[in-house]
Amino acid sequence: MSKKIGILVGSLRRESFNKKIAENLVQLLDKKYSYEFVQIGDLPLYNEDIDHDNPPKVYSTFRDKLSSCDAFLFFTPEYNRSIPAVLKNALDVGSRPYGNSKWDGKPAAIVSVSPGAISGFGANHHLRQCLTFLNMPTLQQPEMYIGNVTQILDDDGKIKSENTNELCKKFIKAFEGWMEMF
C-alpha cells in the first residue's frame, strides 16, 4: 500500500528557499509514494475559545488533510534561533482538541534551510522537541541541515551542487525506510 506524505513548509515567502528545497526533495521520492504540500499560512492563530463549540472550517479542513497523511516532511527556516510562528501554530492546530492529535504516531523528518552557515540548526532542534511531545517518531540520521542555500540553487530553483544532491538522495532514502517501519 502506498503511503501519503504531508509536506509542511514553515516559510510563507513567495520565493521561499525552504519551498524550493522541498520541491527538489519530493522529486527524489520513490514513485510508490504520494505527497501533498499542506498549506499552513491561512490558519488563524490557535485559540481554544474559537475551537471549542464551532471550530473554524479552516481548522477542520487542515485536520482532515493531516488525517489523510501517513508521514510528514517538515521544512523550516530559522527565525530568532527557533521555528517560525506559522509552523508552531500548525502543530498546535493539528494537535487539538486535546486527545485527538492528528500527528500522533506518524513518522516525520526535518530539513532546515538557511542562507547562513549555521543551517537552521536551532530551528531544527526546536522542531524536534515539539515533534517528540506530539509522539511523532522523527528520523534521527542522517540529519538534514542546508546552509548557504543561495549558493546551491540555480536560477530555476534547482539544486546545482552535486554534494547537496547526494546528501538529499541519502536523506530521502533513509526517510523512506523510516516510514516503512510504521
Domain ranges of the chain: 4-180
Helix axes 85-94, 57-67, angle to 10 degrees: 80
pTM: 0.96
CB neighbour list of residue 64: distance below 8 Å, 6 or more residues apart? none
How many angstroms separate the most distant Cα atoms in the chain? 52
Confidence at 54, pLDDT banded by 50, 70, 90: confident
Q: What is the pLDDT of residue 119?
A: 81
Q: What pLDDT does residue 1 have?
A: 65
- Give per-residue pLDDT as tens, 100-153: 999 999 999 999 999 988 889 999 999 999 999 999 999 999 999 999 999 999
Q: Which CATH superfamily is domain 4-180 in?
A: Flavodoxin domain (3.40.50.360)
Reported in sequence order, the residue ranges of the chain that DSSP labels E, i.e. its strands, are 4-9, 34-37, 71-76, 108-113, 144-146
Q: In this model, does residue 163 exceed pLDDT 70?
A: yes
Give the pLDDT score at 52.
Answer: 85
